Amino acid sequence: MSSRIKTVLIVGATAGIGEALARRFHRMGKTVIGTGRNEEKLAALEQELPGFTSRQLFMDDIDMLGPCLGAIVEEFPDIDTVVVTAGIQQCFNFLDPSTTTPEKIATEITTNLTGPTVLIHHLAPHLIKLAESGTKTTLLLTSSTLAYLPIPFYPSYCASKAGVAALAKVLRQQLASASEPARKNMAVVELVPPYTDTGLDREHREETIAMQGGLGGG
């Protein structure tokens, strides 16, 4: 797959899987554009990785996604691969409403599912147009094993990642009715990582362990 990638946009490049992919593609000599919320981390990556370009992007700011993504594509019209890894995760229990707020639930679902859906709305036409011209293009969406094997500690995360998995399937179904060059040259890939020791997990690991006392199996 790496041979078809020349210029890659990684959405969520400041931590975890997204950062690891950004570093890997950079080592392979690809042109890498990375986005994230953390300006300091983006600047540090630019300094550490010569040629790496960063742009701040908030996946939960739906109104700004279009203008921000449009500016990136205008600056880098050869982007042939888009990797979406941005996501947040919170641990809460519906039996104890004090463990979260409606605002936190909405932000998690917006970041993990609505944002990627809107991103596809803006970027799929670009990838399809390149594919129709003969360029190999790829859209990679990151779901999770929790989309298929949900656990009770991350309700919104499991639900939103299941939505991402469905989104990838639906996009493939729609692509089947596109032109022959688009069908031939564009790939939609779902990345389904198993448990990964990232900052996303470490952020609330103790809280999750504590919840297991009340939500354990049996």
| Position 189 confidence tier, pLDDT thresholds 50, 70, 90 | very high
Q: Is 91 helix (H, G, I), strand (E, B) or coil?
A: coil
- In angstroms, rounded to a whole number, what is the distance separating the alpha carbons of residues 218 and 151? 14
CATH topology of domain 2-215: Rossmann fold (3.40.50)
pLDDT tens digit sequence for 83-128: 999 999 999 999 999 999 999 999 999 999 999 999 999 999 999 9
pLDDT tens digit sequence for 142-176: 999 999 999 999 999 999 999 999 999 999 999 99
Q: Which single residue is written with the structure tokens 């799929």?
A: 124
| Position 205 confidence tier, pLDDT thresholds 50, 70, 90 | low
The answer to whether the CB of 143 falls within 8 A of the CB of 164 is yes
The answer to whether the CB of 13 falls within 8 A of the CB of 36 is yes
When computed from its CA atoms, the radius of gyration of the chain, rounded to whole angstroms, is 18
Output the pLDDT for position 194.
82
Domain boundaries, the chain: 2-215
The CB-side HSE value for 77 (13 A sphere, CA atoms) comes to 2
Output the pLDDT for position 218.
38
The per-residue pLDDT of the chain, averaged, comes to: 92
- In angstroms, rounded to a whole number, what is the distance separating the alpha carbons of residues 24 and 155? 32
pLDDT score of 216 more than 50:
no
